[in-house]
């Protein structure tokens, strides 16, 4: 079984489902003892997000949270085509929210203002009321881990995120595992003993996952091809020179 293949994805989630209850962020209360949250931060490909959403719905019977950027340079979530796909993900019963990409001035005031603006635009466009957002690359600014707004909660709140070593020592704390940059930096999710650890926040970047599963380099090559096809399709519908 290849790393980052759909089969591996299914194997991970089946393992978690066997021991823990899949929940959305807003279902985790102070006294919730047994849960896992599946979060998807979508950086490049809405189509790949859709594929994972379908696997979760049809094969795994799991509902999860998908976060989309509105300021990146790889996709436009508001295009007619992409909007349809995102609404399709929502209709499957998954939750959607803003993946907050901020490149402006590093001050709390500026970040808060931009966060309010972006989330308002996102929620308005998708008629959405999930009160969670996920910051993109929060390690770039310490504020991004902490910022919350009225009716808008950060997926890095203490309930959902702790230093890995601390959480490993204290099983009352939620363990956070992410596949950032095509690697499980802290621990592979299948290597966590779920008979002991009962609170887990799993982050998948759908862009990294494919049917066969590839290395980082080959995965990006395939992603580039997928994007080229998408652009070609757009050209075919928008021009008559081809
Ligand atoms: Zn991100």
Q: What does each C-alpha distance from 65 to 107, 132, 143, 238 come to in angstroms? A: 28, 9, 22, 33
Q: How far is the CA of 238 from the centre of ligand 1 (A)?
A: 30
Distance CA(172)–CA(33), nearest Å, equals: 8
**Whether pLDDT at 242 is above 80:** no
pLDDT of residue 17: 98
- Residue 69 alpha carbon to ligand 1 centre in Å: 8
Share of the chain above pLDDT 70, in %: 100
When the pLDDT of each residue in the chain is averaged and rounded to a whole number, the result is: 96
User: What is the mean predicted confidence (pLDDT) over 95-117?
Assistant: 95
CA distance 68 to 77: 7
pLDDT, tens digit, 9 for 90 and up, residues 81-102: 999 999 999 999 999 999 999 9
Q: Are 11 and 106 in contact (CB under 8 A)?
A: no
Q: What is the pLDDT of residues 185-194, one digit of tens each?
A: 999 999 999 9
At 103, the pLDDT band (50, 70, 90 cuts) reads very high
Say if CB 176 and CB 203 are below 8 A apart: yes
CA of 147 to the centre of ligand 1 (A): 16
> Please, what sign has the CA dihedral across residues 145, 148, 154, 158?
positive
- Taking residues 31-44, report their average pLDDT: 97
Q: Is 195 left (phi over 0), alpha (psi -120 to 50) or beta?
A: alpha
Q: Tell me how far the alpha carbon of residue 239 lies from the centroid of ligand 1, in angstroms.
A: 33
Does the pLDDT of residue 117 top 80, yes or no?
yes
Looking at residues 53-57, what average pLDDT do you find?
98
What is the 44 CA–ligand 1 centroid distance (Å)? 9
Distance 100 CA to ligand 1 centre (A): 8
- Place 141 in a pLDDT band, splitting at 50, 70 and 90: confident
Identify the three-state secondary structure at position 14: helix
> What pLDDT is recorded for position 148?
86
Q: Which domains does the chain have, with CATH numbers?
A: 6-23+31-215 (3.20.20)
Q: In sequence order, what are the beta bridge partners of 154?
A: 133
Six-digit token string for 49: 């997000």
Percent of the chain residues topping a pLDDT of 90: 92
CA–CA dist 147, 153 (Å, integer):
8
How far apart are the CA of 232 and the centre of ligand 1, in A?
A: 26
Judged by DSSP in three states, 229 sits in helix
- Who wins on pLDDT, 66 or 148? 66
């Amino acid at each position: 079984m290849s790393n980052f293949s759909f089969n591996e994805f299914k194997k991970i989630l089946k393992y978690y489902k066997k021991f823990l209850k899949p929940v959305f962020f807003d279902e985790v209360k102070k006294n919730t003892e047994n849960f896992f949250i599946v979060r998807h931060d979508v950086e490049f490909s809405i189509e790949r997000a859709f594929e994972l959403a379908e696997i979760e719905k049809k094969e795994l019977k799991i509902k999860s949270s998908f976060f989309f950027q509105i300021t990146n340079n790889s996709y436009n979530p508001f295009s007619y085509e992409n909007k349809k796909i995102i609404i399709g993900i929502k209709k499957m019963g998954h939750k959607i929210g803003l993946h907050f990409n901020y490149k402006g001035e590093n001050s709390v005031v500026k970040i808060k203002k931009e966060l309010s603006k972006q989330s308002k635009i996102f929620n308005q466009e998708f008629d959405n009321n999930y009160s969670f957002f996920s910051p993109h690359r929060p390690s770039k600014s310490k504020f991004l881990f902490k910022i919350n707004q009225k009716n808008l909660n950060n997926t890095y709140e203490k309930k959902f995120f702790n230093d890995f070593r601390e959480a490993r020592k204290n099983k009352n704390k939620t363990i956070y595992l992410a596949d950032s940059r095509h690697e499980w930096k802290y621990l592979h999710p299948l290597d966590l003993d779920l008979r002991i650890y009962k609170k887990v926040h799993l982050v998948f970047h759908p862009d990294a996952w494919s049917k066969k599963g590839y290395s980082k380099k080959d995965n990006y090559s395939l992603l580039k091809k997928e994007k080229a096809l998408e652009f070609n399709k757009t050209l075919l519908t928008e021009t008559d020179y081809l």
